[in-house]
Amino acid sequence: MKFCAAAFCLLMGGAAAFSPRPATTSSFVAANPALVLPTRESGKFADAVGAGSRKSSVEMVAGGAERAYGQEYYEGVAIGPPPDLPSLLLHNRIVYIGMPLVPAVTELVIAELLYLNYESTTDPITMYINSSGTTTADGQAVGFETEAFAIADVMKYVRPPVHTVALGQAFGAAAMLLSQGKRGHRFALPNATIRLNQPKSQARGQATDIAIKAREVAHNRRTTCELIASACGKPIEAVMEDCSRVKYLQPHEAVEYGLIDEVITNTKSLAVEPSFMSQLAN
């Protein structure tokens, strides 16, 4: 009888061991002695959790997913960065060339011209030129004449007229682009400097390669002079002679040469005044 009672108790104890029951925190801590939990008496754990949840809920209610870390607000309105200047200029149909004519500059200028062409086929485009052409200011070659030819071709390709304005410097290929503006709308600011010169070769390598490149440079020189001669109404021979050496032109001399049409001192001479200028005046 005692044996049966003992067997019955062992059987019930084993069944209880295999039956599901919820695990308690004390049993979990006992099984993991390295784990230390804050006590309920201190209240720090509950206060920290409650404060964190309240803070996160306030942020979600105020800004939701649109509120980024560090975003500034004024009277409930998000303050974002101002529009970049090239976008403002492009919005007012202004293209600015302020660097030597390297491929990255050519890509941007052509993209802007094509965009403005499809935005409006009648409103003029104003191109401001402050560039040393395909060379640096000290004469080191950094680009190819084909960069300037690409821009000149697109200036004639787009339907809206392109007005050109020289400021600072317009050297070499940049002077050629200045002359490619619409006749009667080629301008220069009073202290701009315009320079005519022939392209420089970047040929390196064997003698045959240099000779091939020299023929290409001579062809590019003639193409540049033909474009300038056509824009200025001068014979090609006269322009090629002027470009054989460096020739500097002050704005009034450029008018006499036929490279530009007028020297301007303010935007009143331009066909279209940028809309943001009137906003700044208010």
Q: Is the pLDDT of residue 226 over 80?
A: yes
The position carrying tokens 């005692």 is 2
Residue-level pLDDT at 69: 55
Taking only the tens place, the pLDDT of each residue in 118-165 is 999 999 999 999 999 998 877 788 888 999 999 999 999 999 999 999
180-218 CB burial, b ≥16 within 10 A, e <16: bbbeebbbbbeebbbbbbbbbeeeeeeeeeeeeeeeebe
Taking only the tens place, the pLDDT of each residue in 243-264 is 988 999 999 999 999 999 999 9
Residue-level pLDDT at 199: 79
Averaged confidence pLDDT in the chain: 78
Burial class (CB in 10 A: 0-12, 13-18, 19+), 170: buried
Identity of the highest mean pLDDT range in 43-47, 68-72, 277-281 = 68-72
Residue-level pLDDT at 275: 58
Average pLDDT over residues 64-76: 58
The better pLDDT of the pair 211, 230 is held by 230
The better pLDDT of the pair 72, 235 is held by 235
The better pLDDT of the pair 195, 80 is held by 195
Q: Of all helices (H) and strands (E), which one includes residue 169? A: strand 162-171
Residue-level pLDDT at 60: 43
Rounded CA-CA distance 215/48 in Å is 79
Q: Is the pLDDT of residue 37 over 60?
A: no
Q: Is the pLDDT of residue 115 over 80?
A: yes
Q: Is the pLDDT of residue 6 over 70?
A: no
Residue-level pLDDT at 132: 93
Residue-level pLDDT at 54: 46
Residue-level pLDDT at 142: 86
**Alpha helix ranges (H) inside 22-137:** 25-31, 44-62, 85-91, 103-119
The better pLDDT of the pair 10, 155 is held by 155
Q: Is the pLDDT of residue 204 over 60?
A: yes
